[in-house]
Amino acid sequence: MNHRDESDTPKSAPTSAASHHHDHAPSHVHSHGLDPEHSHEPMPESVALLDRLTTLLVGKGLVTQDELIAQQRVTDNATHENGARMVAKAWCDPDYRRLLLSDGSAAAEALGYSMAGAPPLGVVENTDTVHHLIVCTLCSCYPRQLLGYPPEWYKSSAYRARAVRDPRSVLAEWGLPIPTSTEVRVIDSTADFRWMVLPRRPAGTDHLDEAALARLVTRDALIGADVLRMPTDIPFSRSR
Amino acid sequence: MTQPIIDAQMTSAEISDRCTDDAPSVSVSVNPVTAATASLSARRFADGQRVRVKAEWPEALQYVHLRTPSYIRGHCGVIVRCFGAFPNPEDLAFGRPAPRKHLYHVAFDRAAVWPTENTASAASRTSGPDKLLIELYEHWIEEAT
């Protein structure tokens, strides 16, 4: 499976948090069940806490070991390619687009992505007049069933603080200046929904089919941290 | 004062002690979702209504689990939509019966919440004001007068 966007193009957290930036070899990704964006092994204290918690949950009959393993497998296997397929279908199929924007969870299930046990999914559409950016200032809420694990920068204090204070500067620092004619809407994912962005379809892609369109959709675009373009001479390279 | 089940500063040994069957504050036998069957009243706020987030700080008085960011408390916004009702996470977090509460999407003017940030950009724009969209529970908002 291709985890191109998860490992090859880490976006550094805004501002001085760049000092917290770590590179990690792709071979390390998914080598264990914990967050693949962390380059460190988890702290023994955290592992001990997790062990005690799961032992308690299983012991009290609240979950079974099999359920825990199954849920972890779903999360481990999810990548942004799930969300990308939903976006590509929405670009091609007006009925699916309406479903996606009115009931994101139903739209995910319609493509075979189980949302069992997941919070409801809301999807917001980026247009030439509105740009949405997703953040979770309280923690790191993220639609993991459809995007996989959140990137390290998404969980950084710098991103979480600055996304709500000055989103235009954050986007500009990533090479995404938002035109003055476009309103920025920051979704702070504070409670019971998870949020995904339906990005704008790049110009010049009329000839592409759904599968080819899905390959254009980056992980970051699905949370408003990227603007999609038709690749020209350097396919899929977004190094910046 | 409500005693938290597990605190971030606790050691593994303390956590282990706390997580025993006879720990007084643990009541995991209650299923909060099914236990909270109290009838739900109609939503209080209409789409488009101007509201204020309560400027309350319960975390100063006791251990709490809140989904209302501190930066938005006391600010006025506009109801965008009601998502329906969800078991109150402030109760779920402590394993208490969790009555369902209406959850709203509320829009705030970013520049009003952060008046000293990016003022140049705000002045030069031709679009509508940049917004913050936040999920807030009904018991955290009140009519703005």
Residue B95: count of CB within 10 angstroms of its CB: 16
| Mean pLDDT lowest among A84-88, A212-216, B123-127 | B123-127
The pLDDT of residue B105 is 98
Put simply, the chain A residues between 17 and 46 with a CB less than 8 A from any chain B CB are 45
A166 touches chain B (CB under 8 A): yes
Angle between helices A94-102 and A80-92 (to 10 degrees): 130
> Measured between CB atoms, which of B6, B12, B103 is closest to A191?
B103
Spatial separation of the C-alpha atoms in residues A216 and A236, rounded to whole Å: 7
Contact B15 A52 (CB under 8 A): yes
Confidence tier at B69 by pLDDT (50, 70, 90):
very high
Q: Given pLDDT bands bounded at 50, 70 and 90, which one contains residue B2? A: very low
Check: CB of residue A104 under 8 Å from CB of residue A122.
Answer: yes
Question: Which of B51, B48, B43, B27 lies closest to B140 in space, CA to CA?
Answer: B51
**pLDDT given at position A147:** 96
Catalytic position from the list A105, A140, A156, A189: A140
Catalytic residue among A39, A46, A114, A139: A139
Percent of the residues in chain A that have a pLDDT greater than 90, as a whole number: 71
CB B15 within 8 A of CB B6: yes
Candidate from B113, B130, B135 with C-beta closest to A191: B135
Candidate list A105, A141, A156, A189, residue with the active-site label:
A141
Question: Which of B15, B67, B130 is closest, CB to CB, to A183?
Answer: B130
Angle value at C-alpha A187, between A103 and A132, nearest 5 degrees: 85
Which chain B residues have a beta carbon less than 8 Å from that of A184? 110, 130-131
> Which residues in chain B are closer than 8 Å to A180, comparing Cβ atoms?
121, 124-127
Percent of chain A exceeding pLDDT 70 equals 80
Following CA atoms A114, A116, A119, A123 in sequence, which dihedral angle do they give, to the nearest 10 degrees? 30
Q: Which of helix, strand or coil describes residue A169? A: helix
Q: Is A181 on the interface with B (CB under 8 A)?
A: yes
Better-predicted residue by pLDDT, B123 or B1 = B123
Report chain A residues whose CB lies below 8 A from the CB of B127.
129, 180-183
Question: Which pLDDT belongs to residue B22?
Answer: 39
pLDDT at A128: 94
Is 90 exceeded by the pLDDT of residue A137? yes
